[in-house]
Amino acid sequence: MLDALHHAAHLTRTRTLDTAREFLYKAGLLGDAIFLTALEATLEVLPPSAVFTGFALPDATRAAASDFEALENLRRLALADQVDEPMQLKLWVQ
């Protein structure tokens, strides 16, 4: 599931959200409970990007924050009815 999450984040960043959603659909993961749990857990441990926090992160965490941003955007677009917003985002309400 981590490989699928990473690939979906990559597709979101390098192509489009629709491309990533199509990948997940073709792989049969959009409704897969294990995948959805993995996405939920991943969104709770990756550092949120500056889009969500309002400040730039150190260089060492930027790649992980980019994955967070891509996966959170994908969650909002395609999976919001199945995966709740990450709890950690409540810490960054501006």
pTM of the model: 0.92
pLDDT band for position 57 (cuts 50, 70, 90): confident
pLDDT at site 56:
86
> Residue 54 class from Cβ within 10 Å (0-12 exposed, 13-18 middle, 19+ buried)?
exposed
Is the pLDDT at 10 greater than 70? The verdict is yes
Q: Residues 13-41: pLDDT tens digits?
A: 999 999 999 999 999 999 999 999 999 99
In 1-94, which residue ranges form alpha helices assigned H by DSSP?
Answer: 2-14, 17-26, 33-45, 50-53, 59-74
Compute the distance between CA of residue 6 and CA of residue 46 in angstroms, rounded to an integer: 12
Is the pLDDT at 55 greater than 90? The verdict is no
Q: In the chain, how many domains are there?
A: 1
Domain of 50? 2-92
pLDDT at site 93:
66
Q: Compute the chain's Rg from CA coordinates.
A: 13
